[in-house]
Structure 1
Amino acid sequence: MSTLCIDEVYPKSIENPLIVNFQNGYPTDEFVSKSCFLYEDKNAKFKSIAVDVCNLLYAGDEEKEDLGKTLILARNKITGKVRLIEAGNVEVKPVIKHNLDSVLDTSRLELSRKFGSKKQKKVMEQREKLKVNTETVVNQMHNVTINIAEDQVDLSSYTKTDSEDFYIPPINREATDVSDVYDLYKILTKEQYEKINSEIGNKDITSDMVEWIRNIVINKSLSTEYKVLALYASCLIKLYGTMMKEIIKKAFCACPHSPTLNEVILNNFTSYVNSKRNRSLQLKDKSLCHAIVFLLIINDFKYSAEDLGKHVNMALRTLTTKVRVLGASVVTSGSKKIVQLKLPLSTSMFVRRKSAKF
């Protein structure tokens, strides 16, 4: 057996061989040489290698050899001399992207469409429909709110159906005079009063009013605001008695005499559900309560309770509950029951509606 003589030992330097192992794979005879990228971290004193094989990126760091060293024995076939060259070891692994959730979801959807049961197909399709593009929603909300003025009227009380303030116009419970309890210019603005009055013009609006409201105002000399409130109250009483099959019609009109007042009534006492006009029980009660408030204002803050109950087809006990929400009360005057708004205001233990009555 021939004796080999080690001529020289080459320790690691700036450039040294690296033995590369592929995780879960081995090079075959068909493997050809590949250019790779070698990176060196001078602070941590280790090297990293990256190589593209079959359109898949492999990368790995040089392993630390604390217990031993890896040496390559190189022999010159002509002279017979050999050299020992210190080498490093690197195990390269395929680099997998971490943002493939959408791709996986899409592939799962496609698999369900092709091989899933009817139930599974339906479930996956519903999940796709429920996906929301947050950027689109943010842009839509920005476009909706960009033109909203900061000094708009606070309508929060009108959206709380579990509060008595939902059913009545803005009320001043700290008022020292009964005429200040309900401010006319918080019910409608001065501009709205003037515009509605100009739209009414010289029309004979009393002939189209509810009869018992017409009897109240026909012999009175009403101001512009009271004239508008009388028409407003009559329209709300008509709306209160209107069937839903009429309200849902596109051509439905709550006030034929004034487009402005008609718009105010539809906006405040009806709603839209699935692109159709609707009126909930709470909104129906709201229209009645507003009408009673307007009636009290134009009739010196009092009216016969028996007549009112008869006109709106309501028992005196139920009517008493509703007028207490307004801050009014039912009092006895001789042998008659009178609905009266007076100070101090009546208080009610309001309970959220659970039936047709509140």
Structure 2
Amino acid sequence: MVGEDNQPVNEVLEIQALDDALKPLSQRVSVTRETGEFLLSLPPAAARLDHVLIQVTAPRAGGLFPQREFSVDPRPGVTAPLVLENAGAAVVVSGRVVDRAGQPVADAGVYLQGKVRGGGQFHSLTVRTRADGRFELQSLPSLPDTPLTLYAIPPSGAVSGITRQATLVPPGGLSSQEVVCPNKVIVQGALLRPEGGPAAGVKVVADPVGAVPGWPRPAQGAEVSSATDEDGVYSLRLDPGEYRFDFMPGENLPRVSRFVPVLAAETMQVEPFTLSKGRRVTGRVTLSDPQRQIPSRVAPYADIQFFRVVNVAGKPTAIRLAQTVADSAGDYTATLPTR
């Protein structure tokens, strides 16, 4: 691993072999800093492929070393030197994040990412805006004809939503960049009771579970909740993303969920959803140790949860159906959906 001057790169580097789907074929190993040498151990099947991807990262470079991939034929066992082109010197990008009314957005996360010189993928460190909405971060220059993408992510409680902005970063840096955040998407829908008619007073929780194309995934754990009105209508303000909507009636109706992709727009209407009828499940929680021949005994106040496993984007995902707590005698009752 060498630089453009054919000398070892003066940086702590790590490499890993990947397949075309970017799945790891090896452990991540360090490059010898003094010589640029590295040694990867591949499984026999991977060593017979006509090519693998060698991913190079610099974990201690503070975000100023772009990630690179090289296509390498692993069959000879020894590769020609991999040349890391110079991506340019770090520059300063500064600006201000505001809402649609021109007011500053405080505590927003701001970062730049995209392709830079040498074919690497750059992702700057994330900085937070100050009370006046201003930020300053270090970046690498963009390619002359390929801007980087600047992302501004307001805090979860803000009315303003995530924004992205194409940004050409010249070798001299960039100042006074103004970033305007749109409002979050207003997502509205209606819930119906199993026998028909509006379902009023139902708690609705939107939990982000993934990203939609072109947008970063909403922050993990940034749940947004609302309740249906007398007409069964709910309204949520959300960033673009993939969400799990949990509908939690307060009566003898079960909790149900559905997955909803939210795309960038002013407003979005979700199709009406009919709640499920419930079936009551009762039982008792006991503790036992057959090996020690200890008699069974009740487990008071045990937490009990019921889940259903469904496929989401090809991956098995557990959806909680109900949660309850056993009483002092270990007895519990839960309401589960009939479908």
User: Which category of TM-score, normalised to the shorter sequence, fits these structures?
Assistant: under 0.3
TM normalised by structure 1 equals 0.20
Higher percent of residues as strand: 2
Higher percent of residues as helix: 1
